[in-house]
């Protein structure tokens, strides 16, 4: 017989507040066209992107996260001292150690919470949300701060015609806490490692270090058509599985917040899922670009701030990207 006492957590967990930060510099397609042979029309038709935000030297991964976190805490009505864990999803924090989560926790005045980084690419927010839900229900933390943050401008090859226009910078954060009713559904997540070469860093850090200093800095590259087909056909199936796991249908949805990778992918998923016209669809990619782990909370924050979505709405969120990895769940909006 085990002598371990049962955990004293909450029966359920929910998102209590959301905050976002977009760098002050707005970069239109015309700037991208200075280094690639393309056109504004081509970029818009292929991706739906018109502008993106690029961070200044002062707008570091930590600095953007602190700003987004402050807004999320205020929106949730939770103090930094109440945060029991900080989870940061990012692929663009260049220090291998320590985790940037520890710096963020200190800068927001969170005391001594658990703090760690995860690397799950564009599915990172979903991974972090799932971990946070488990912590709240298990009782290891009453409130958890989940941050998705990227400075992908640091990892963009501006001469790569296939990717130069895709990426942007920013941070999104949510506070997850206790709930008396289900407000974060079961997560459908996984990976397909046999496709890991379709989105990757061009050169590993150790190879870059060992080569001549004139070697091109590592950047993100992808096989666009392969990623598009996978996202449209396979991720629509995962999204449907998340609806099924939550016990609802597309008709029950109010909002759809997919990873903001590409407008054509978003529109194709809407069609494949046969979402009703009343469902609000996040299309933040047009003015924010692909911000990887930050894209879902940034899009969520904008929908709520503009009134396109409202507190209590039922939303399907799904992230997918490098790995290839994915995570989808149904949530009640804060």
Instruction: Give the integer Cα–Cα distance in Å for 124 and 151.
Output: 14
pLDDT-derived band at 197, boundaries 50, 70, 90: confident
Cis peptide before 98 (omega within 30 of 0): yes
State the catalytic residue, choosing from 29, 259, 262, 278.
Answer: 259
Query: Does residue 214 have a pLDDT over 70?
Result: no
The answer to whether 278 is a known catalytic residue is no
pLDDT-derived band at 1, boundaries 50, 70, 90: confident
Instruction: Give the integer Cα–Cα distance in Å for 144 and 67.
Output: 16
Of 43-57, 78-92, 123-137, 202-216, the one with minimum mean pLDDT is 202-216
Query: Does residue 230 have a pLDDT over 90?
Result: no
- Dihedral sign (CA 48, 51, 52, 54): positive
Percent of the chain with pLDDT strictly greater than 90: 82
Q: What is the mean pLDDT of the chain?
A: 94
What pTM, to 2 d.p., does this model score? 0.95
pLDDT at 225: 83
Q: What does the pLDDT look like over 41-91, one tens digit per residue?
A: 999 999 999 999 999 999 999 999 999 999 999 999 999 999 999 999 999
pLDDT-derived band at 172, boundaries 50, 70, 90: very high
Cis peptide before 204 (omega within 30 of 0): no
Query: Does residue 7 have a pLDDT over 80?
Result: no
The answer to whether 106 is a known catalytic residue is no
The answer to whether 93 is a known catalytic residue is no
Strand residue runs (E) in the chain: 12-21, 25-28, 51-54, 83-89, 114-118, 143-151, 169-179, 188-191, 199-201, 220-222, 255-258, 280-281, 314-321, 325-332
Chain mean position to CA 312: 21
Tokens of 165: 């226009």
State the catalytic residue, choosing from 29, 53, 122, 262.
Answer: 122
Query: Does residue 92 have a pLDDT over 80?
Result: yes
Question: Mean pLDDT across the stretch 215-232?
Answer: 82
Query: Does residue 203 have a pLDDT over 80?
Result: no
Of 101-115, 150-164, 221-235, the one with minimum mean pLDDT is 221-235
pLDDT at 232: 86
Question: Mean pLDDT across the stretch 258-264?
Answer: 96
pLDDT-derived band at 213, boundaries 50, 70, 90: low
pLDDT at 59: 98
pLDDT at 199: 80
pLDDT at 50: 98
State the catalytic residue, choosing from 29, 93, 262, 290.
Answer: 290
Question: Mean pLDDT across the stretch 279-298?
Answer: 98
Tokens of 121: 């690419």
pLDDT at 212: 67
């Amino acid at each position: 017989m085990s002598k371990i006492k049962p955990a004293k957590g909450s029966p359920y967990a929910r998102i209590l507040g959301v905050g976002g930060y977009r760098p002050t510099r707005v970069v239109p397609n015309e700037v991208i066209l200075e280094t690639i042979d393309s056109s504004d029309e081509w970029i818009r038709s292929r991706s739906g992107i018109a502008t993106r935000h690029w961070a200044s030297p002062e707008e570091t991964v930590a600095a953007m996260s602190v700003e987004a976190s402050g807004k999320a805490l205020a929106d949730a009505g939770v103090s930094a001292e109440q945060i029991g864990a900080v989870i940061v999803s990012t692929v663009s924090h260049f220090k291998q150690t320590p985790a940037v989560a520890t710096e963020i926790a200190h800068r927001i005045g969170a005391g001594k919470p658990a703090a760690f980084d995860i690397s799950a690419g564009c599915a990172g927010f979903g991974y972090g949300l799932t971990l946070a839900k488990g912590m709240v229900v298990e009782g290891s933390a009453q409130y958890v701060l989940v941050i998705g943050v990227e400075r992908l401008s640091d990892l963009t090859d501006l001469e790569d015609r296939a990717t130069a226009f895709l990426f942007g910078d920013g941070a999104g954060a949510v506070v997850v806490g206790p709930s008396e009713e289900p407000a974060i559904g079961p997560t459908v997540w996984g990976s397909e490692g046999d496709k890991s070469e379709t989105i990757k860093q061009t050169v590993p850090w150790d190879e870059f270090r060992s080569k001549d200093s004139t070697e091109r800095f590592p950047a993100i590259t992808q096989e666009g058509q392969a990623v598009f087909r996978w996202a449209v056909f396979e991720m629509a199936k995962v999204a449907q599985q998340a609806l099924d796991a939550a016990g609802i249908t597309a008709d029950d949805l109010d909002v759809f917040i997919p990873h903001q990778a590409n407008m054509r992918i978003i529109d194709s998923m809407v069609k494949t899922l046969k979402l009703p016209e009343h469902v609000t669809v996040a299309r933040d990619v047009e003015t924010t670009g692909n911000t990887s782990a930050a894209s879902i909370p940034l899009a969520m924050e904008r929908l709520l701030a503009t009134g396109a979505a409202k507190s209590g709405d039922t939303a399907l969120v799904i992230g997918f990207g490098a790995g290839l990895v994915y995570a989808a769940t149904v949530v009640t909006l804060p």
